[in-house]
A = this chain, B = another copy of it.
């Protein structure tokens, strides 16, 4: 007996699938906003930018929420995915490091509308304290512990310079934060049980540059390959 029902909390959803669920959620919201009540896996897959076989397989890990011959009820599926991800209630979040990027994150409306609430902005620079960003006051980094305990914060965002990032992470972990979203260009060491996700702007550009370089070399490379083949 290896069946895992949708209410069985021990069933495992592949990491690759978890990473796509938010995309499906957004696509479903877009469909709902344009008045669509029902959609096929083909429709939703197109809206989400994946192929329909992969979409169906992903959804099958959550349960059986579609109707054969008909498709999916947009609102119902949206709720099921939101519940699975855990964004039917709001998650309190703290942002540490209110530089250019911290400002942008504090002002990003997508957090609020997608299940997250920024409860505090923290910075070590005394010059920033008291300033208000997006309606939230910037407070001293020392107040992290009090804020985390008051609001029961589990998720922290690091938007500091690279050198400060590990120190901030250590402090967060010590206080009980167990999920960190890291924008600083640094590798964070954290204990088992703490999740870290990294967003790195220049790495993404470097990956594009690699492929761009290969495209640029394309014509020459094809010729070289042909010559190589001829020689062999």
Interface membership of chain A positions 190-232, coded 1 if the CB is closer than 8 angstroms to chain B and 0 otherwise: 0001010101111111111111111111001100110010001
Docked CA distance A209–B197 (Å): 11
Q: A8-B228, A195-B212, A206-B85 are in contact. Are A201 and B1 (CB under 8 A)?
A: no
Cross-chain contact B27 with A202 (CB below 8 angstroms): no
Cross-chain contact A208 with B179 (CB below 8 angstroms): yes
Instruction: Give the contacting residue for A204; candidates B48, B100, B197, B210; CB below 8 A.
Output: B197
Give the distance to chain B from A153, nearest Cβ to Cβ, in Å.
11
Interface band, chain A: 35 or more
The CB with the most chain B CB atoms within 10 A, among A19, A105, A202, is that of: A202
Cross-chain contact B86 with A209 (CB below 8 angstroms): yes
Each complex incorporates copies of this chain amounting to 2
A211: B residues at CB distance < 8 A? 18, 179, 195
A1: B residues at CB distance < 8 A? 232
Give the distance to chain B from A75, nearest Cβ to Cβ, in Å.
19
Q: For residue A154, which residue of chain B has the nearest CB?
A: B212
Give the distance to chain B from A164, nearest Cβ to Cβ, in Å.
15
Main secondary structure of the interface of A (DSSP, over half): helix
Docked CA distance A103–B99 (Å): 11
- A residues 1-52 near B (Cβ < 8 Å) are 1, 8-10, 18-19, 21-23, 25-27, 47-49
- A residues 43-75 near B (Cβ < 8 Å) are 47-49
Docked CA distance A138–B206 (Å): 24
Give the distance to chain B from A120, nearest Cβ to Cβ, in Å.
16
Besides A9-B221, A9-B225, A108-B202, 13 more A-B contacts (Cβ < 8 Å) are A9-B217, A9-B220, A18-B207, A22-B206, A47-B187, A100-B103, A101-B108, A110-B202, A111-B202, A114-B206, A116-B205, A155-B208, A195-B208
The 7 nearest A-B residue pairs measured at CB: A86-B213, A9-B221, A100-B104, A49-B187, A22-B206, A179-B208, A104-B104
